[in-house]
A and B are shown apart, each in its own frame.
Chain A
Amino acid sequence: MNATPNLNDLKPNARAAAGDVVLSGAEVLLRVLVDQGVEVVFGYPGGAVLPIYDALFRQNAIRHVLVRHEQAAVHAAEAYARSTGKVGVVLVTSGPGATNAVTGLVDALMDSIPVVCFSGQVGVPLIGTDAFQEADTTGITRPATKHNYLVRRAGDLARVVHEAFHIARSGRPGPVLVDLPKNLTVGPAPYQPASRAPHPSYRPRTEPDREAVARAVAAMKGAKRPLFYTGGGIINSGPRASEALGRLVRMTGFPCTSTLMGLGAFPTTDRQFLGMLGMHGTYEANLATHGCDVLVALGARFDDRVTGRLDAFSPDSFKIHADIDPSQINKIVQVDVPVLGDAGRIIEMMIEEWARQSEIPDSAALAQWWQQIDAWRGIRSLHFEQDMTPSAIIRPQHAVRRLYELAMETGRDTYVSTEVGQHQMWAAQHFQFDRPNRWLTSGGLGTMGYGLPAAVGAQIAHPDALVIDIAGEASTLMNIQELGTIAQYRLPVKLFILNNQYMGMVRQWQELLHGSRYSESYSAALPDFVRLAESFHARGMRATCVGELDDVIRAMLAEPGAVVADISVAQDENCYPMIPSGAAHNQMLLGPEQDGEVKVSAEGRMLV
């Protein structure tokens, strides 16, 4: 397969013909990581990766962050990647180390996050013998990664590692796993710099077709009720894409909505932003999606959380779909103009075309559209009433709002991660993001336990920033061991738990769809989070009523070290607005007054 000689059987410390010192495979790996600009590796040691840990020990260029569970290593690397735009790097041992990483890999796959995960493997001669801690890691992770490799020959090592980074970060980004048999990391291996030759078979297209963009812009010029529907692809494309999006939205005057993954690409506090769309999106975003005549999807993939009932999704619109991944085009929704390429490049080209095409947009129609949108806005679908009596129960939305407002008062650069559940949706609705890369959440996979390790990754990448995990009490217990990592590296992460003593999102569905039979969704036997924090060398704080909330948030924000803030919130709160499964965007539930009207179809009941 490759002309490089097989160096497996060379003796260690033998000298290569050129006279260079022969490096071990582990040393070659680290050298390639340095070439690739890697500064941090999140990992956990074990027998099969000991040679790599030994090489790490003897160098200073790469920092290793010891997590407490391999799943957390991947989530930390994901957040590192998402908050910096670099590739996140993970190192785990064979067998259980690799299997523990699988959830994180699938999470990164679903959200298109560039991660390279190195797993140890038993030596090549032992593969297939059920050796100790052997697992078919490439077999297990094949559908969990964008691509994976089992390196069988030392001569392939450097090339494969370079290639893994290229594949993880280019095209539609994603996780790549490289399985490294122990004999290859112990034995000698040839170092190679990154090749400049294009990959023989993998050639993602990034530069859009001008003609497709021109057709898209022509439709936009003729629109009477246009809407931008933006997604995580813009964040992935880099800050330039978000900056360009801002220009495009302003120059067109069009309204803009975003998916969960895209929040922050366009400032969520901007007047032209309608809020998030989809299952827990705003009334105005969903009705605009339903009623628009030209829908411009940018780096978004028509996920089922966004579309609701498909045959009723944006029924009268001319659809433009910009995506880097050809397989997303016409996958869920048939579109009129597909534009393949990097979202940032497409947006920049749209700006050029908008200026170049001489048609005058119908500003009267647009003004009328905005009037309609403002009327929908008048419904105030995210509104809630908080009883401000000091002893009143805290509503979770209020807790998020206050957290946002008080965090803004600090003026600090703020990164927010979340777990999965109601609190995640409240965070998406009530925390505001005016810049990209500040919002770290598990969208596609919806992985409980994502937020705390993600906060670790973000804080490692941005040591001086304010990093908050907006958590639920159930989710946070899924990776609570990361309080150990936080303690070890003195990370000033703030774990802000909206404690409703329920798996609230499960409870909500049980209330609305299963006759309020709360089967196994009560968070029984919860720990005392304050004492838990203290046992992990962090500060624990608690707010049990509205009167205590602001003081606790202020104290948390003022605390130089890690904090666990246990915020008791209303147990029976449901997350609104909501499009029940199988319903259309114009069949939203706005609040509990309408719960009686929930009529989920038989098909809807089968949907997740």
Chain B
Amino acid sequence: MTTQEETTISAVISILVENESGVLARVIGLFSGRGYNIESLTVAPVEESRHQSRINIVTSGTPQVIEQIKAQVGRLVPVYRVSDLTTLGPHVAREMALVKVVSSGESRTEALRIAEAFRARAVDTTATSFVFELTGATDKLDSFIDLMRPLGLAEVSRTGVAAIVRGPRTI
């Protein structure tokens, strides 16, 4: 680590793995063992036969650390491919949140109004609560949740980021 700049960047790493037991533990263990950040993580089978899963990890570090992450992950035996979407070009990164707001009166109508503006859907409604479903970029979800905070925000469940490169290219 002699000459490289120390600026921290954020990266979306997509990893295609053999869908076998322990493979997620290998990836996560590698991150914690080597001191890499995990800001969010998603994993699910992505292939018809369910032999392969895709893991998306949002991480941050110096460019050199991001390079190391890719190389270290690439060393794992059940890993087919690992890509840093942030360097592959433009990509789409989305996550979904379920947001529970418990309130009444003025706050309740305000919550509903903001939800409409964000195109969040109320997937559960009671006299005293809403569960909103919202999909979008991470910062959009963050600001929606921030706005709900004074309006009775009670609970949040988020999926973490799923990401894919724009255009015809694949990882």
B77-85, B116-124, B153-161 - interface stretch: B77-85
**A143 to chain B: which residues have CB within 8 Å?**
29-30, 33
Tell whether B26 is near chain A: CB-to-CB under 8 Å.
yes
Other-chain contact of A310, B1, B33, B51 (Cβ < 8 Å): B1
Answer whether A138 and B78 are a contact pair too, CB < 8 Å, given A310-B2, A329-B71, A330-B67.
no
A1 to B53, CA, bound (A): 13
B72 pairs with A201, CB closer than 8 A = no
**A199 to chain B: which residues have CB within 8 Å?**
77
**Residue of A152, A167, A331 with highest tally of chain B CB at under 10 A:** A331
B4 pairs with A334, CB closer than 8 A = yes
A35 to B78, CA, bound (A): 24
A272 → chain B closest CB, angstroms = 28
Q: Nearest residue in A to B50 (C-beta to C-beta)?
A: A1
A332 pairs with B78, CB closer than 8 A = no
B71 pairs with A202, CB closer than 8 A = no
B71 pairs with A326, CB closer than 8 A = yes
**Residue of A139, A200, A201, A311 with highest tally of chain B CB at under 10 A:** A201
Tell whether A342 is near chain B: CB-to-CB under 8 Å.
no
**B21 to chain A: which residues have CB within 8 Å?**
150, 152
Q: Of residues 308 to 344 in A, which have CB atoms within 8 Å of B's CB atoms? A: 310-311, 313, 325-327, 329-334
Q: Of residues 289 to 313 in A, which have CB atoms within 8 Å of B's CB atoms? A: 310-311, 313
A311 to B3, CA, bound (A): 8
B77 pairs with A167, CB closer than 8 A = yes
Tell whether B127 is near chain A: CB-to-CB under 8 Å.
no
Q: What does DSSP make chain A's interface, helix, strand, loop or mixed?
A: loop
**A1 to chain B: which residues have CB within 8 Å?**
19-20, 51
A330 pairs with B64, CB closer than 8 A = yes
**A331 to chain B: which residues have CB within 8 Å?**
68, 71
A333 pairs with B25, CB closer than 8 A = no
Tell whether A147 is near chain B: CB-to-CB under 8 Å.
yes
A454 → chain B closest CB, angstroms = 26
Other-chain contact of B2, A142, A311, A325 (Cβ < 8 Å): A311
Query: Which interface class (under 10, 10 to 19, 20 to 34, 35 or more) fits B?
Result: 20 to 34
B20 pairs with A327, CB closer than 8 A = no
A333 to B3, CA, bound (A): 9
Tell whether B140 is near chain A: CB-to-CB under 8 Å.
no
Q: Nearest residue in A to B81 (C-beta to C-beta)?
A: A201
Residue-wise, chain A 140-177 has the 8 Å CB interface mask toward B (1 for contact) of 00110011001010000000000000010000000000
Tell whether B133 is near chain A: CB-to-CB under 8 Å.
no
Count how many chain A residues have C-beta atoms less than 8 Å from C-beta atoms of the other chain.
Answer: 26
B4 pairs with A327, CB closer than 8 A = no
**Residue of B2, B21, B72 with highest tally of chain A CB at under 10 A:** B2
Tell whether B75 is near chain A: CB-to-CB under 8 Å.
yes
A139 pairs with B80, CB closer than 8 A = no
Q: Of residues 3 to 33 in B, which have CB atoms within 8 Å of A's CB atoms? A: 3-4, 17-22, 25-26, 29-30, 33
A325 pairs with B22, CB closer than 8 A = no
A332 to B78, CA, bound (A): 26
A142 pairs with B72, CB closer than 8 A = no
A23 to B166, CA, bound (A): 53
Tell whether B45 is near chain A: CB-to-CB under 8 Å.
no
B72 pairs with A327, CB closer than 8 A = yes
Answer whether A334 and B51 are a contact pair too, CB < 8 Å, given A201-B18, A201-B79, A201-B80.
no
Other-chain contact of A327, B1, B19, B33, B75 (Cβ < 8 Å): B75
Q: Nearest residue in A to B80 (C-beta to C-beta)?
A: A201
A313 pairs with B2, CB closer than 8 A = yes
Tell whether B74 is near chain A: CB-to-CB under 8 Å.
yes
B168 → chain A closest CB, angstroms = 24
Q: Of residues 322 to 377 in A, which have CB atoms within 8 Å of B's CB atoms? A: 325-327, 329-334
Residue-wise, chain B 46-73 has the 8 Å CB interface mask toward A (1 for contact) of 0000010000000000001001100110
**A152 to chain B: which residues have CB within 8 Å?**
21
Answer whether A142 and B77 are a contact pair too, CB < 8 Å, given A311-B2, A330-B67, A334-B3.
no
Residue-wise, chain B 98-126 has the 8 Å CB interface mask toward A (1 for contact) of 00000000000000000000000000000
A330 to B131, CA, bound (A): 48
A150 pairs with B2, CB closer than 8 A = no
A397 to B79, CA, bound (A): 48
A143 to B30, CA, bound (A): 8
Other-chain contact of A334, B2, B19, B22, B79 (Cβ < 8 Å): B2
Give me 16 other A-B pairs in contact (C-beta within 8 A), A1-B51, A142-B26 excluded. A1-B19, A143-B29, A143-B30, A146-B77, A147-B77, A152-B21, A199-B77, A201-B77, A201-B78, A202-B77, A202-B78, A310-B1, A327-B74, A330-B64, A330-B68, A332-B1
- Residue pairs across A and B with Cβ atoms less than 8 A apart, 28 shown, are A138-B22, A139-B25, A142-B22, A142-B25, A142-B26, A143-B29, A143-B33, A146-B77, A147-B77, A150-B21, A199-B77, A200-B18, A201-B17, A201-B18, A201-B77, A201-B80, A202-B77, A310-B1, A310-B2, A313-B2, A326-B71, A327-B68, A327-B75, A329-B71, A330-B68, A334-B2, A334-B3, A334-B4
Which residues of B are at the interface with A, using a C-beta cutoff of 8 A?
A: 1-4, 17-22, 25-26, 29-30, 33, 51, 64, 67-68, 71-72, 74-80
The 10 nearest A-B residue pairs measured at CB:
A327-B71, A147-B77, A201-B80, A202-B77, A326-B71, A327-B72, A143-B33, A327-B75, A311-B2, A201-B18
